[in-house]
Amino acid sequence: MIRFVNAKLNLGLNIVRRRPDGYHDLETVFYPIGVHNGTPVNPEPFSDILEITPAESTEFVFSGRKVDCPLEKNLVYKAWKVFKEAYPELPDFRIHLEKHLPDGAGLGGGSADASAVLCMLNELCGDPFDQGQLAAMALKLGADCPFFIYNSPCYAEGVGERLEAVDLDLSGWWCLLVKPEVSISTKEAFAGVTPGAPEHSLKETARLSPEEWQGRMVNDFEGSLFPNHEVLPQIKERLLGKGAVYAAMSGSGSTVFGLFRSREEAADALSEFVEHYTALCLM
């Protein structure tokens, strides 16, 4: 079984309060990105490739972009372990991840891989678990992992695990992703934030046309990270200057994205960012 694993965008993100346990309560809108890449309408590749096949003994293989962590900390391995604990009769498989999505980009690439492992193992074993049960397993792996079980537009609260489907369809819009050579740790991302109630309801703003988002839908991490990484606000302003109707940083960065009305506009903007990693995606 082979699956092309897509990423996600945080269209907006508000940090509303610090919790007694040290974590923060968030409000965000998740949207899948890269679903159409590799198809005739959007042939540019933008996904990880996960292959799971029967084997005589369990084996993990990694290729593509280097996954720089020991096996026991790799989310693919951890997802297999969580599924094995819930389904002890799990047979042996060879699990091969070909990594292409960038790390530390705010795109959820590792979380997407983990959730894909859960879904694929579930299917290969005859679907012993429903989506709700898989989402509960995914939460053990990371706050944004449950989103990838559903892989459809969601409004999220808590640490990102309380999901609610949203009526948001960006079909026909084009997105340009720009990721500079900037690495942002979770510790750095949260260090400078000031939690507070957002000026505009994220859920309500998501119901508006993307042309009305700029200035209303925000990512609170930009306030703390942009002063420390000047390239990020520069990319955002350049995207807006090239015709993006909305531009923002995704998650805790460091990818900045712009929404364009047409492929032609997005492709024209892409030519301005040859010094950075870029991806062109039909929404």
Residues with a known catalytic role: 8, 144
Sequence-distant (≥ 6) Cβ neighbours of residue 100 within 8 angstroms? 45, 46, 47, 48, 49, 64, 65
CA pair distance 173, 46, nearest whole angstrom: 16
| Cα angle for residues 84, 30, 152 (degrees, 5° grid) | 65
* Residues facing residue 246 across a β-bridge: 259
Beta bridge partners of 157: 162
User: In the beta sheet, which residues pair with residue 217?
Assistant: 214
Please classify residue 148 by burial: count the beta carbons closer than 10 Å to its beta carbon, then call 0-12 exposed, 13-18 middle and 19+ buried.
buried
Q: How many Cβ atoms from other residues are within 10 Å of residue 233's Cβ?
A: 15
Are 103 and 110 contacting, i.e. CB atoms less than 8 angstroms apart?
Answer: yes
Which residues contact residue 48 at a Cβ distance below 8 angstroms, ignoring those fewer than 6 apart? 4, 5, 64, 97, 98, 99, 100, 101, 109, 112, 113, 116
Instruction: Report the C-alpha gap between 92 and 88 in whole angstroms.
Output: 11
Element (H, E) at 164: strand 162-165
Spacing of C-alpha 246 from chain mean position: 18
